[in-house]
Structures are given as structure tokens and as C-alpha cells.
Amino acid sequence: MSHIDQHADETAYHYQIIRRAIEAIDAGGPGLTLEELAGEMNMSPAHFQRLFTRWVGVSPKRYQQYLTLGLAKTLLRDRFTTLETANSVGLSGSGRLHDLFLKWEAMSPGDFARQGAGLTIRWGWFDSPFGPALVMGTDRGLCGLAFAAETGADAAMADMRARWPKAEFVEDPGALAPDVTAAFAQKGETHLHLIGAPFQIKVWEALLAVPSGHVTSYSEIAAAVGNPKAVRAVGTAVGRNPVSWLIPCHRALRKSGELGGYHWGLPVKRALLAWEAARADADDRKTA
């Protein structure tokens, strides 16, 4: 087995462990001991410790607190991001995610209205820290990233293709690999091509301003894009985000402390938030 294949197997395996850990904590409560939680995973405590520490950078006992249902309220209290007005949020075209530099450009409204006609979209399946990922991209950058662990591969593919029904879709993972590798490694540079309606793109650009390990609210995004009463429309636009994780729709929560929805399944959203929160806290301790 090559190093790349081994890494892919490990990342897929890690997500399945996270998924089972979420279920175990929901059933048994946050008071589960390390030994009990490891037992639920059919793993030794030592193996469990090594796996989690390698995957997220913190111990499984510490990581356990990030998987609880109460994480959203904790993040809203401790790591809430207040967005500025749309003028300062949108149209910047670049941003940073850990050590990953993101550059993006938006498709024109006229091009979007043509539903992808004349556009070639390349696609491929990749293993990610959060399970199998369907990635799509144009010559300008990644335009789609779907997590299929909860929905299934066929549903994810049908969902993404339906967004740009007149485009030509070509299986070509090699063309996407440089951007995908940088994205999942959180290092280097990844290009994004935002394909959506003008209002959707405003919302997605606001999401790009929320730092990793932090969250915001749907109402905060509505204010940032200049339409504070459009909370429901913002929620719809957040849900239609085609580039999961990199355009971080998982960081949008309800003000009540509820997670809200997630297009690719709430277990994935919880894993994403927990992974980022744990890494952010680990980074804070390193720099303290």
C-alpha cells in the first residue's frame, strides 16, 4: 500500500470513529471515562489516545468535550465572530484558513443564469478528515465539495450535478488534486470558483470571513450582507453553499445555541465544529 493510500484509509477511518464517538457520547453522556469511550469504539485506551491526538492534536478526553451537543452554546459564548458590513466582508477575494491561503472569484450573474452551459466541471472522489468527499472544479478553482458519509455517494453526486445541469461533467481527479491536497492538509494555496446567484455569493463571502474555530449566527450574516431582516433567505443561501468546509457554512449557528441544519448531515457538522474548535484551542495554548 502506498503512503497516499494509507493516509486516505486513515482519514476515512478517523471519521467513522468520530461518528461512533458522537453516538456513544449522546447515549452515555459527557461523563464517559476514556476507558469506557475507548471500549465503545472497540479500541484500547492507548490506541484511542494515539489516534485522536494524531488526528486533531488534543487528547481524546479533552476532545470529548468538543463532541457534545452543548458545543454550539460554548462556541457562541466564547468564540462568536461579529461580522462587519457587507462592504468590508465581501469581495476581498482572499483569506486564510490555518496555513491555507484561499483565493476566490465569483461567476458573473449572467453566467450563473445559464446553469453551467458552456462550462466544463471536473470531478473526483477524495478521502477527507470527515469521510468521503466529492470535489468539483473548473479551470478557475474548486466549485463544489460535498461530504458523502451521511448522504451516500449517489445522492451527493446527484445533488451537485443538479446545481449546474447544463455543464459538462468530466471525471478528472488529477486536475483537482493540487487544490484538494492543499485544502485537506490546510497548507499552501487553494483556488475557489464561486458559482451562485448574487445574493448567495454575498452570503458565502461573509462566511469566508469567519475564522476557523469560531462561529457566527444567521442573523449576523444577514446584517453583514446589508439585509438584516433576511434571516430565512440567509439560511437558505447557507444551505445551498456548494463548497463545504472551505466556504464554512458549518460555522453558522442559531442565536439560541442550536446547531441549525447542515446539508450533508448534522453528524458531519458536529465533527467539523469539534475538529476546528479543538485545533483552535490547541493553537491558543501553544501561543499562550
Give kind and range of the element (H or E) at residue 173.
helix 173-185
- The C-alpha cell 484509509 sits at 9
* Three-class HEC string of 65-90: HHHCCCHHHHHHHHCECCCCCHHHHC
Asked if residue 165 lies in contact with residue 116, where contact means CB atoms within 8 angstroms, the answer is: yes
How far apart, in Å, are the Cα atoms of 61 and each of 34, 127, 181, 184? 6, 26, 29, 25
Closest CA to 132 of 105, 111, 151: 151
How far apart, in Å, are the Cα atoms of 197 and each of 29, 45, 94? 42, 49, 19
C-alpha grid cell for residue 166?
447544463
Asked if residue 167 lies in contact with residue 81, where contact means CB atoms within 8 angstroms, the answer is: no
**Phi, psi for 104 (deg, rounded to 5):** -145, 155
Give kind and range of the element (H or E) at residue 170.
strand 168-171
Q: How many Å apart are CA 46 and CA 44, to the nearest integer?
A: 5
Q: How many Å apart are CA 141 and CA 31, to the nearest integer?
A: 44
Q: Active-site residues: which are they?
A: 249
How far apart, in Å, are the Cα atoms of 140 and each of 11, 144, 190, 222? 27, 12, 10, 28
